[in-house]
Amino acid sequence: MDADPAATTYRSPRRPVVRPAPSAQPPARLGYVMPGEFEPHARLWMAWPGATTRRWAEPTIVDEIAAIARAAGRFEPVRVVVSPAYRDEAAASLGPGIGIVELPVDDIWIRDSGPTFLREPSGRLAATAWSFNGWGDKFDGYDADKLLAPHVAAAAGAPCFTAPVITEGGALHVDGQGTVVVTESALLNVNRNPGRTRAEVESGLNGWLGTSRVVWIPGERWDSITDGHIDGLMTFVRPGAALFEVSDDPAHPRYHLLREQARALELATDARGRRIEVGLLKAPRELPRGTPGFCGIYVNCLILNDAVLIPAFGDAASDAAALAAFQAAFPDRSIVPLRVDAICAGGGGIHCVTQQQPAAAAAPPT
């Protein structure tokens, strides 16, 4: 971890949580950048359902987390953070070949509470710990997760830089070439960065991601859980190209909103001055349940070494169309559909419960 001696006390409406003060030196000044998710990974990190998960989730959540870990483990090493109380359960469910790291952890959403990994040109690893406040102080039971990122970084052998920005890892997508895409509804929300200007938030993102261009799209304030995370809207396929999920049903309540957001991304330019090529992915027409907040989103997927894990929802036509769209976008990778209904019922998807650690070697320039 970074050696900043000072600390700040973040006072939530429920109880105080002591956090490290922001690092004096942003990692970008040392040459660190966040690679694109489509670049090679050293391993994948996940979190086993902890006490908070078990308050809201169905028992099948354990099976779904294990299924994602095993599916990912076919393509790259996987480590799962497990609260000591659940070690035996995790070991039995995950089976051989999946690493277990014992750490205090509340919930499964490691994309948001865990570290964002960075790399510098020689291949050295580092991590950014965002100031995670439980999605705008909406929920109890996240004291361990608010302090999780530096512990995971230490387990990965990565120095950890504490960022001044309050956000979550699922609120940003990078292209690995200097561009980060975020939503106004999440990053500029008063429940995360009150009093900070857009320019101040951009400076924090660029300094702790190694990016130089922040692309803003409006986002979705109706999303009562994440306030419109970008990983519920799009993913980068490669530098300069993205998949964006929209509905093809004019009666869909988000039909116009999603197309307006996709258009905002199409009109943006990235850090290299390119217009971003936006492929439209059709949202499922039918979902397996009507749970409020159900994350019925194909683009909340995970890009792995040689594969992409995508959700399936039991709508045969929509699932087949999504599989074909992903296969066209990633012709050299296997597309692996998984049913993750219990995870989706919690308001997240496959991307939300995973976090990639980049490989030491950078991808060839394109």
In whole angstroms, what is the distance from residue 157 CA to residue 65 CA?
24
The residue count for the chain: 366
Block residue for tokens 């990190």: 45
List strands edge to edge, sheet with 213-217.
Answer: 173-174, 179-183, 213-217
- Catalytic choice (160, 295, 344, 352): 352
Query: Is residue 160 annotated as a catalytic residue, yes or no?
Result: no
CB atoms within 10 A of CB 135: 26
From residue 133, give the alpha-carbon distance in Å to each of 32, 171, 280, 314.
25, 13, 32, 34
CB atoms within 10 A of CB 73: 20
CB atoms within 10 A of CB 285: 15
Q: Using the 8-state DSSP alphabet, how is residue 68 labeled?
A: H
- Alpha helices by DSSP H, the chain: 53-56, 61-73, 87-94, 110-113, 134-137, 148-155, 184-187, 198-209, 255-267, 316-329, 341-345
> Which residues are catalytically annotated?
352
